[in-house]
A and B are shown apart, each in its own frame.
Chain A
């Protein structure tokens, strides 16, 4: 079992560009959550996907959007990138709601916006 995988590992973009990050959940998991972790901070919840729909959303602008595919993999899209979007983006998966079931984290994608 490969666990949660994310791609790419690192990404460099310029302000105003758009970016897509990808996540494959742990085998058997159907729920994917995305987090933003700024340097020296804890992860901040962006949103959660279950059954291909966004179920919960944190305090992030509409520039942040996502998608979940029938195989439960997920994408995070960020439009009109700002310098402040530079962070480690974490994907976590669980079987059902993560409040009740352990969520497993991927290694993250490091996004740098210049």
Chain B
């Protein structure tokens, strides 16, 4: 069945460091891929998405590229800020069933 495997955390970075959070997926069809973020004390919110191979999703300086050949959707940011401290979830959606599959989440802490 469909699934998402996400880099385990927690991850601690200094401000302005480069961030990569790895995400790979298994899917029988051609899913849409998502990154969701959960800031402390807040609900899950969509960060970015990509709906087909080679698409790049981007938002708030974060980027992720849908790589069909490596079944990956790694999240990157060139220079993290303290305000990026949150839990990040990779997810895929089966376009036929509309079911969502989430990874286990990666906690990021950015220190000044």
Contact = CB atoms under 8 A, between A and B. Distances in A.
Interface of A: 4, 33, 35, 40-45, 48, 55-56, 58, 90, 92, 97-100, 102-108
A4 B1 CA distance: 30
A99 B95 contact: yes
Given A43-B44, A105-B44, A106-B43, A97 B104 contact: no
Given A41-B104, A42-B105, A43-B102, A99 B44 contact: no
B105 A97 contact: no
Given A90-B44, A99-B98, 13 more contacts: A4-B43, A35-B100, A35-B102, A42-B91, A45-B101, A55-B98, A56-B97, A99-B95, A100-B95, A103-B46, A105-B43, A105-B44, A107-B42
Nearest to B94: A99
Interface of B: 4, 6, 32, 42-46, 89, 91, 93-95, 97-105
Nearest to A102: B46
A102 B4 CA distance: 19
A99 B105 contact: no
A92 B94 CA distance: 17
B97 to A, nearest CB: 5
Nearest to A4: B43
B45 to A, nearest CB: 7
